[in-house]
Structure 1
Amino acid sequence: MSISPLSRVAIGTALTLSFALTACSGSGAGSADELSGDRVTLRVTWWGSDSRAQLTNEAIAAFEKKYPDIKVKGQYKDWNGYWDALATTTAAKDSPDVVQMDELYLASYADRGALFDLGKARKLLDTSMFDREALATGQIDGTQYALPIGLGVSSVVINTDLFQKYGVAVPDDTKWTWDDYARIGKELTDKSGGKIHGVSAAPGFYAGDIKYWARQHGGEVFDKDGNVSLKPEALAGMWKYGLGLISSGAGVKASTMVEDLTAGVTAGSFATGKAAMTTAYNTQLTALQEATSAHLKLLQLPHADDTEANFLKPSMYWAVSSQSRHPAEAAAFLDFLLNDLTAARILRTERGIPANKQMLARLQLNLSGPDKAAADFMHGVLQGRPPVVTPNGASGIEPALQRYTQEVYFEKTSPEAAAQAFVKELQGEVDAAK
């Protein structure tokens, strides 16, 4: 399994965060029980594209119409620039009031006191329409520091046109195993005469890969205390499986995997019709559909046994800075973005399938095509409990994993040696942050 990320982490960003936040502590100024009644200005920041900015600004305008005493100034950057800027402003005690947050950095900011306890804003911020499992993804030690905007689950996406063209049957995803996945991948490669590959990648390039693989082998990547509990033998087994995909021809070459990593989900082997199966979040179906112009279908991930290894993955969160002088107004803004139908109709699924069940139910009435397929799929997948939030110090897990994965797939080191080294390095980063 190689799950395309909802977001990516840069090593330099992780270092910037670790350095800049060491001096951070929240001021916690202002009351969150009720609005002040004064004219205030909130600063809101997020990462993303120009299209996301356009939709977010439309939602901001709708909020300002409903709350004429609250002015909202929005700003956005690309992924890497966003985290560098947020770390710098937070260390300088000048953080924006409302921040878009990612799971990889949630604990890092919460543990350093940089985020506001949203439980103190219950009168203004309604969380009743969120499942307990969804709320848990934004909690650290039981405190609600962030609320998920959208949710996704890992899946296999198949190009049914290529399956039909080369006479390969679509598998029953309620029963198939990883051996079936490899066998079908090779069958597609062989029947096409090498014109395509069955599988676009092998597991190990994203943190979601090892979370799923660890669960299938009775473990987790992190334990409840935030220490690394990933079993090296489980990680080594994942890489051995990936090497098998490559050597058999079921999967693309290691060099192509790296090229696909750089190209992104909409320009890789699967998106360009050079592979018939890939792994992705269900929420990426729309982008893949547009890129391929083919008939695509979402399937549940293969599994090793009856373990419910899949889990809800927040696309991103909204959080309030502990440095905000207007936490009540910030909470009201979050409530509008997450709970107001006007905002839901503007933002739709741009940040993922809405985590708010009521908003999703109302949006589903008008969803169609891949958006509807993605929403329907998420509710039909067997899900286990949410994994432990990535602990402080481990936000660089993804680039480290990619480094070791490339060493293994280019046969520069053995799966066993790489697994031992990765676990040791990751635990060292967690220990250093304590």
Structure 2
Amino acid sequence: MNRTRLFAPAAALAAGALVLAGCAGSSEAPAAFDPDEEVTLDFAFWGNDDRATRYDDLIAAFNEEYPNITVNPSFTDFPSFWEKRQTEAAGGGLPDVFQFSDSYLRQYGESGNLLDLAEVEEHIDFTTFDESLLGTGALEGTQYSLPTGYSLWANFVNDDLLAQAGVEAPEGGTSFEEFDEWMAEVTEATGGAVYGGTDYTQRIQNFELVLRAGGGNLYTDEGELGFTEDELREFWESGDAIREGVTVPQQRLEELSPKSGFAAAATASEMSWSNFLGGYLADSGASSISIIAPPTAEDGAKDLYRQAGLQMAIAENTEHPEAAAIFLDFVVNSPEAGEIFGTTLGFPASSSKLEGTNLEGIDKQVADYIETAADRIGDAPPVPVVGYGSLEQTFWDLGKSLGLGAISVDDAVTQFFAEADAILG
């Protein structure tokens, strides 16, 4: 949901521009840091009005401690955010501090567009993070970003709709086949007024679950795809049965867009990241939504992982690296950030931020889910390949085309690997 698509030519041009931008560093030595100097930082993030209000509150709290550092925030949606960052990176003009995604770590880190946080380590507390979470912002030993929080892949269930349908919620961690049967039961009970769910084979994260259950990953440590055409074909073919009258029709989802079927209360379930709970409650109008573990391809598999995709980074060419580091540290580490954001940026990744988080209501529900799913949490996957955001969107777009009947599985597989070859070289 939070990705943008770059067609292959555009991706290649953008990557080339980033490499050129990374080579154009300044030879001037930085001035000595003055903690009382009046400084202005540009700060960019993706999100909505709720997130913007929370950041305004956080900046106000930050300025109580650092009145000399002015922070100018700006935000947009996820696709527009990265389109603008690519343009800025090509021209050497990234914001001083910006929300970052691990999907772009290789692209921006290898091109020299991100500040090595070791250069400002005296202003950032790294000890509050678990090593595995630090690793989500590191590339070949260099720490380029820090996570604001983490999420687990989850299955959301609308309790209100199930009560109306007279169907009990599914158990977490069933097989995919058992979950398919449950979705069919919901759709039949409502006569199609509410569908059991959405075609989960559209989401690359569900394919990732299957791969990890078998000991694999979406990509390798060398930055290549970690699966074959046959594996992708088998996964997409597994959705043939549920696309025929069990899950919400793709045409209906097109009409509901930009809301998902679950957010629009057209489906009783949907799989996504655990920090989506608040947004789902707000959009669907449901009084109660449960979070359960997603289906698994193999009982006992360590197929889940702490996804710390939402990070904070500093531009390599910022004129105020120390001030930028002080603000970044406040966002990822301060108890005030925990109090203001709760789990809306993911479950707090740092122990100091967690101390300020009041785990009640939605936040406690997310925390409880993470605790119950702990036995399924395995090692984090390798750093995403360059262009992963584009490949994820391509996967989703092709899944939608399958739902519309506009493409065969064989053609979808061929198109995905053709675009992967173009993006990955």
TM-score normalised by length of structure 2: 0.89
Aligned length: 417
List gaps (5 residues or longer) in structure 2: none
Measured at CA, do residues 19 and 50 of structure 1 come closer, stay the same or move farther in structure 2, by a change above 3 Å? Answer: farther
Kept after mapping to 2: 8 A contact 1:109/1:115 = yes
Partners of 1:30 and 1:368 lie apart in 2 by: 48
Partner residue in 2 for 1:109: 108
Partner residue in 1 for 2:371: 379
User: What SS does structure 2 have at the residue aligned with 1:170?
Assistant: coil
- Alignment match of 2:327 (pick from 318, 326, 333): 333
Deviates more, 1:277-286 or 1:26-35: 26-35
Partners of 1:122 and 1:335 lie apart in 2 by: 10
Deviates more, 1:91-100 or 1:77-86: 77-86
Partners of 1:185 and 1:106 lie apart in 2 by: 37
Partner residue in 2 for 1:250: 246
Measured at CA, do residues 33 and 401 of structure 1 come closer, stay the same or move farther in structure 2, by a change above 3 Å? Answer: farther
Partners of 1:294 and 1:328 lie apart in 2 by: 45
Q: Write the deviation string for residues 342-391 of structure 1: whole angstroms up to 9, x where unpaired.
A: 2332333332322113322441xx33222220122123322121122222
Partners of 1:421 and 1:370 lie apart in 2 by: 40
Partners of 1:94 and 1:338 lie apart in 2 by: 23
- Alignment match of 1:198 (pick from 190, 196, 199): 196
User: What SS does structure 2 have at the residue aligned with 1:313?
Assistant: coil
Is 1:274 aligned to 2:269, yes or no? Answer: no
User: What SS does structure 2 have at the residue aligned with 1:199?
Assistant: coil
Measured at CA, do residues 17 and 102 of structure 1 come closer, stay the same or move farther in structure 2, by a change above 3 Å? Answer: farther
Measured at CA, do residues 43 and 429 of structure 1 come closer, stay the same or move farther in structure 2, by a change above 3 Å? Answer: same
Is 1:314 aligned to 2:308, yes or no? Answer: yes
Counterpart AA for 1:9: T
Partner residue in 1 for 2:73: 74
Measured at CA, do residues 233 and 353 of structure 1 come closer, stay the same or move farther in structure 2, by a change above 3 Å? Answer: same
Q: CA deviation at 1:398?
A: 2.3
Partners of 1:32 and 1:375 lie apart in 2 by: 44
Q: Write the deviation string for residues 111-169 of structure 1: whole angstroms up to 9, x where unpaired.
A: 10000111232221112121222111111222111111121111111123333444433
Partners of 2:12 and 2:223 lie apart in 1 by: 19
- Alignment match of 2:401 (pick from 396, 407, 415): 407
Measured at CA, do residues 30 and 237 of structure 1 come closer, stay the same or move farther in structure 2, by a change above 3 Å? Answer: farther
Measured at CA, do residues 33 and 101 of structure 1 come closer, stay the same or move farther in structure 2, by a change above 3 Å? Answer: farther
Partner residue in 2 for 1:343: 337
Is 1:40 aligned to 2:39, yes or no? Answer: yes
Deviates more, 1:388-397 or 1:330-339: 388-397
Is 1:292 aligned to 2:285, yes or no? Answer: yes
Counterparts of 1:20-419 in structure 2, within 5 Å, are 20-25=17-22, 27=25, 38-174=37-173, 176-204=174-202, 206-247=203-244, 249-260=245-256, 262-264=257-259, 268-290=260-282, 291-305=284-298, 306-363=300-357, 366-381=358-373, 382-419=376-413
Deviates more, 1:305-314 or 1:401-410: 401-410
Partners of 2:304 and 2:238 lie apart in 1 by: 19
Counterpart AA for 1:99: F
User: What SS does structure 2 have at the residue aligned with 1:243?
Assistant: coil
Cα root mean square deviation, aligned: 2.6
Partners of 1:8 and 1:93 lie apart in 2 by: 23
Partners of 1:289 and 1:36 lie apart in 2 by: 43
Q: CA deviation at 1:35?
A: 5.5
Kept after mapping to 2: 8 A contact 1:115/1:322 = yes
Q: CA deviation at 1:34?
A: 6.4
Q: CA deviation at 1:190?
A: 1.8
Q: Write the deviation string for residues 88-126 of structure 1: whole angstroms up to 9, x where unpaired.
A: 222222222112112222221111000011123222111
Partner residue in 2 for 1:430: 424
Q: Write the deviation string for residues 405-427 of structure 1: whole angstroms up to 9, x where unpaired.
A: 23333344432442244134213
Partners of 2:11 and 2:61 lie apart in 1 by: 35
Kept after mapping to 2: 8 A contact 1:34/1:123 = no
User: What SS does structure 2 have at the residue aligned with 1:400?
Assistant: helix
Q: CA deviation at 1:397?
A: 0.9
Counterpart AA for 2:188: D
Measured at CA, do residues 81 and 68 of structure 1 come closer, stay the same or move farther in structure 2, by a change above 3 Å? Answer: same
User: What SS does structure 2 have at the residue aligned with 1:280?
Assistant: strand
Partners of 1:76 and 1:274 lie apart in 2 by: 29
Measured at CA, do residues 73 and 30 of structure 1 come closer, stay the same or move farther in structure 2, by a change above 3 Å? Answer: farther
Deviates more, 1:44-53 or 1:403-412: 403-412
Q: CA deviation at 1:31?
A: 6.2
Deviates more, 1:343-352 or 1:92-101: 343-352
Partners of 1:171 and 1:411 lie apart in 2 by: 29
Partners of 1:97 and 1:23 lie apart in 2 by: 19
| Identity level (%) | 26
User: What SS does structure 1 have at the residue aligned with 2:268?
Assistant: strand
Measured at CA, do residues 77 and 275 of structure 1 come closer, stay the same or move farther in structure 2, by a change above 3 Å? Answer: closer
Deviates more, 1:419-428 or 1:92-101: 419-428
Kept after mapping to 2: 8 A contact 1:17/1:83 = no
Partners of 2:322 and 2:49 lie apart in 1 by: 29
Kept after mapping to 1: 8 A contact 2:218/2:227 = yes
Measured at CA, do residues 135 and 380 of structure 1 come closer, stay the same or move farther in structure 2, by a change above 3 Å? Answer: farther
Partners of 2:154 and 2:31 lie apart in 1 by: 39
Kept after mapping to 2: 8 A contact 1:199/1:278 = yes
